[in-house]
Copies of this chain bind each other. A is one copy, B any other.
Amino acid sequence: MKNPVVRFLPNKVDIEVEEGASLLEVARRAGYVLQSECGGQGTCRSCIVRLVSGDVFLTGEPNLTAKEREEDYILACLARVTEDLVVEVPEDSEYSFSPDAIESERSPGERPGQEIQARGLVIDPAVKRISIVVPPPTMESNSSDFERVQTALEKTNIAGPYDAGVDLLRALSSSLRRNNGLVDVTLFLSNRLPEILKIETRGENVREVGLALDVGTTTLFARLIDLESGDVLAEASDFNAQISCGGDVIHRIIYASKAGGLEELRTLVLGTVAGLLKRLGEEAKSDRDSITAAVVAGNTTMQHLFLGLDPKTIREEPYVPTVTHFPILRAAEIGLDIFPQSPVFMAPSVASYVGGDITAGLLAAGVHRSKKLTLYVDLGTNGEIALGNEDWLTACACSAGPAFEGTGVKCGMRALPGGIDQVKADHDTGKLTYRIIGGGIPKGICGSGLIDLLAELRATNRITARGKLNPDADPERIRKAGRRAEMLLVNGAATGGRGDIVITDADLDNLIRTKGAIFAGIQTLLKGVGLETAAIERVVIAGSFGKHLDIENAIRIGMLPDLPRDRFEYIGNGSLRGAGLTLLSRQLWDELHEIARRITYFELSSWPGYMDEFMAALFLPHTDGSLFPSVKSP
């Protein structure tokens, strides 16, 4: 019997599948990574597709409108393939593996080597290459190849004995005999025995390369860095292919508990990394064996899934990860396709919800070496906050939810082309103007646009201080939709037939809960250490979403504290930067662990007073107006 064939539009990809296969899984195999916020429960609608021909077997009741059903929309996660199909993937639901899609999130121009020097340090990577001469043996001096290499190495003041793997030994005899014993030795230096990773005939390989990797819940960022000069050789990013198994860490953890789920998640993220490595290698003209070290930062759940560690206990009281300070692993054992013996350094995490991305970010921001009291806010799929200076550090994770990434907001979307990333209101006429990423037809509103919108709608009195739409303020645009109100932002006529772009009361609820959670987290840390907002001397915003953020509006809605604006700075992807710095400096690697050990973690879910802070923050800007003296009521 012939297997069914599914054709995906618009790319006309045909794929033969076994009967009964999940359409979500089939789409993934065909290269379409559909988001699945709910982890395949049929509720989040993120995997919506249209059946052009054929029919599917549905395993549950999809959360779809009558009109959508009529137009043959289905949710891929609930559909099983039983016959030939033609399926159309809506353009904006797809997380394609196109590098261009998130090109705007790159941070070119960073020079990790210069940053190291600016800190008064030297480039001193754990993996480094040195050139030695190993004299050929004679009848008078015929010690073994490995012994002669060690003798030559000891002259460079790196005391033996040296460790080495069998692959090194296998290649040794011929490497030493090709160029009169002039060789380049790649060493791994740590608190272990010094290890010889590689011996190459001198000049065979032009440079030693390290990989810095930030494994985000939504996006992976990777850089190749020259371990000698500290220059960035190539940079790439891509969506985490795990998106199809759930949009946030909680849904990923649930997915991992299914049979085979953990291994599937591991394989998916490694697949994304493999794609990045391919592009990086092409850009840097480096082969995989020239990459001999890697630093991997990410939140605790992402680091666990990357290694195939069961994340179950992260989610269960008392919220314990398997490991925070990771032993140094090897590329081959974890399936990272670089030089097999390469050490892989996992950035240490603090707790289940404050991970290696935060410790790496704090290192990049230099918080632990600064006298200035610094607030560090990472606005990613999760919201993490740290506060401290050279003397002490605290951190917490807000269950902020991904509203600013477009999830849970009817017309929300990520910062991709077509997204409204800036909203301005004329405070006299009330007229709203929008900036659209990449120009063209608007498709939805991304995080920074939503913050602007919240600020401007409040400034023009269209929403109340409680965040409810006020129909009296703009009867033309604010309308009832069922029992609740919604406001028309862009008429469907201007969206190329995608329908109206609106903001609803439910959206506003979500957004205010998210901003409230972040501000409540900041307040909790401040009160925990007995300080006032004004004591904060520096605010560092990290995370790709922060790049588009209008600080003024973020303060006006009460998400960030009302401090002089010149105290705010945007650091970019702090996690990736920190990873790159520790690749180049053993001292910074040690400092990273010192940061992780020094952080006092506030578990907000059980922190006394947090809930009061949160409730007080569900207001624009805040129930306590004295906290926001610069913000005027409309």
Contact = CB atoms under 8 A, between A and B. Distances in A.
A310 interface: yes
A307 B191 CA distance: 27
Interface string A323-341: 1111111100110000000
B163 A312 contact: no
Contacts of A318: 137-139, 142
Q: Which 5 A-B pairs have the closest CB atoms?
A: A146-B323, A142-B318, A144-B324, A137-B320, A139-B318
Given A163-B328, A164-B327, A172 B317 contact: no
A610 B583 CA distance: 57
A162 B320 CA distance: 19
A165 interface: yes
Given A139-B603, A322-B173, A308 B166 contact: yes
Nearest to A601: B142
Nearest to A167: B333
A161 interface: yes
A139 B172 contact: no
7 contacts: A139-B318, A139-B606, A142-B351, A144-B324, A166-B333, A169-B307, A170-B309
A142 B320 CA distance: 6
A361 interface: no
A344 to B, nearest CB: 9
Contact of A139 (B170, B317, B329): B317
B327 A163 contact: yes
A320 B317 CA distance: 61
A163 B145 contact: no
Contact of A320 (B144, B166, B321, B324): B144
A324 B169 contact: no
Contact of A193 (B164, B167, B191, B317): B191
Contacts of A164: 327
Interface string A505-534: 000000000000000000000000000000
Contacts of A313: 145, 173
Contacts of A145: 313, 320-323
B606 A146 contact: no
Copies in the complex: 2
A147 B147 CA distance: 38
A327 B162 contact: yes
Contacts of A321: 144-145
A499 B146 CA distance: 52
B319 A142 contact: yes
A262 to B, nearest CB: 9
A58 to B, nearest CB: 35
A174 interface: yes
A409 to B, nearest CB: 33
A632 interface: no
A143 interface: yes
Contacts of A483: none
Interface string A293-324: 00000000000000111101100011111111
Interface string A537-560: 000000000000000000000000
Contacts of A329: 165-166
Contacts of A333: 165-167
Interface in A541-588: none
A326 B147 CA distance: 9
B165 A192 contact: no
Nearest to A193: B192
A209 to B, nearest CB: 23
Contacts of A191: 161, 193
B192 A163 contact: yes
B147 A323 contact: yes
Given A165-B333, A309-B169, A146 B192 contact: no
A327 B194 CA distance: 11
Interface string A167-194: 1011011100000000000000001110
Given A144-B322, A191-B193, 16 more contacts: A143-B320, A144-B321, A144-B325, A145-B313, A145-B320, A145-B322, A146-B323, A146-B327, A162-B327, A165-B330, A165-B333, A166-B308, A167-B333, A170-B308, A172-B309, A172-B323
Contacts of A193: 191-192
Nearest to A138: B318
Contacts of A351: 142
Contacts of A142: 318-320, 351, 603
Given A191-B161, A351-B142, A322 B166 contact: no
A193 B191 CA distance: 8
A170 B164 CA distance: 25
Nearest to A149: B323
Contact of A309 (B162, B173, B328, B603): B173
Contacts of A330: 165
Nearest to A313: B173
A160 to B, nearest CB: 10
Interface string A28-55: 0000000000000000000000000000
Contact of A324 (B146, B170, B173, B310): B146
Contacts of A166: 307-308, 329, 333-334
Contacts of A606: 139
A559 to B, nearest CB: 29
Contacts of A192: 163, 192-193
Nearest to A196: B327
Interface string A124-159: 000000000000011100111111000000000000
Interface in A453-469: none
A322 B172 contact: yes
